[in-house]
Amino acid sequence: MPKNIILRLSNEVGNQMFMYAAAYSIAKKMNRLLFLDDQTAFLLKKNISSYGLNHFKINAPIVSDDFKFKNTKGYLKRKFLIKTDFMRIKKRFFIEHKDKNKITNFNLDLLTESFDDNFHLEGHFESEKYFNDIKSDIKNEFTFKENDHFKNNFLYKDIKKFNSVAICLRQNRFLEGRGKNNNMNREKSKNFTIEQINYINKTVDVVKTKINNPQFFLWSNDLKSIPKNKFNFKCTSVDTSKITEVVDNRILSLFLLKNCKHFITTSSSFNWWGAWLSTNPNKLVFRPSDKNFSDYKINNKDFWPSDWILIK
Q: What is the DSSP string of 194-245?
A: HHHHHHHHHHHHHHHHHSSSEEEEEEES-GGG--GGG-SS-EEE--GGG--S
- Using 50, 70 and 90 to split pLDDT, how confident is the model at 100? confident
Task: Please determine, for residue 210, whether its predicted confidence score (pLDDT) is greater than 90.
Answer: yes
Task: Please determine, for residue 132, whether its predicted confidence score (pLDDT) is greater than 90.
Answer: yes
Cβ atoms of 271 and 14 within 8 Å: the answer is yes
Average pLDDT, the chain: 93
Backbone angles phi, psi at 28, to 5 degrees: -65, -45
**pTM score, two decimals?**
0.94
Cβ atoms of 172 and 222 within 8 Å: the answer is yes
pLDDT at res. 175 = 78
- Using 50, 70 and 90 to split pLDDT, how confident is the model at 244? low
Dist. CA 193–CA 217, nearest whole Å:
17
Q: Which residues contact 302 (CB under 8 A, 6 or more apart)?
A: 105, 106, 126, 127, 128, 129
Tell me the average pLDDT across 252-257: 96
Dist. CA 109–CA 92, nearest whole Å:
15
pLDDT at res. 185 = 86
- Using 50, 70 and 90 to split pLDDT, how confident is the model at 246? low
pLDDT at res. 227 = 86
| Tens-digit pLDDT profile for residues 16-60 | 999 999 999 999 999 999 999 999 999 877 767 899 999 999 999
Task: Please determine, for residue 247, whether its predicted confidence score (pLDDT) is greater than 80.
Answer: no
Task: Please determine, for residue 169, whether its predicted confidence score (pLDDT) is greater than 70.
Answer: yes
- Using 50, 70 and 90 to split pLDDT, how confident is the model at 189? confident
Cβ atoms of 267 and 296 within 8 Å: the answer is yes
Cβ atoms of 254 and 274 within 8 Å: the answer is yes
Q: How many CB atoms lie within 10 A of CB 163?
A: 13
Cβ atoms of 5 and 33 within 8 Å: the answer is yes
Task: Please determine, for residue 179, whether its predicted confidence score (pLDDT) is greater than 90.
Answer: no
- The matching CATH number, chosen from 3.30.70, 3.40.50, 1.10.3470, 1.20.140, for 148-311 is 3.40.50
Dist. CA 59–CA 35, nearest whole Å:
9
Percent helix, strand, coil in the chain (nearest 5)? 45, 20, 40
Task: Please determine, for residue 153, whether its predicted confidence score (pLDDT) is greater than 90.
Answer: no
Dist. CA 113–CA 193, nearest whole Å:
42
Q: Where are the domains of the chain?
A: 4-132, 148-311
- The secondary structure element, H or E, covering residue 21 is helix 13-30
Task: Please determine, for residue 174, whether its predicted confidence score (pLDDT) is greater than 70.
Answer: yes
Residue type, 241: S
Q: What is the CA radius of gyration of the chain?
A: 20
Task: Please determine, for residue 192, whether its predicted confidence score (pLDDT) is greater than 70.
Answer: yes
pLDDT at res. 173 = 82
pLDDT at res. 284 = 98
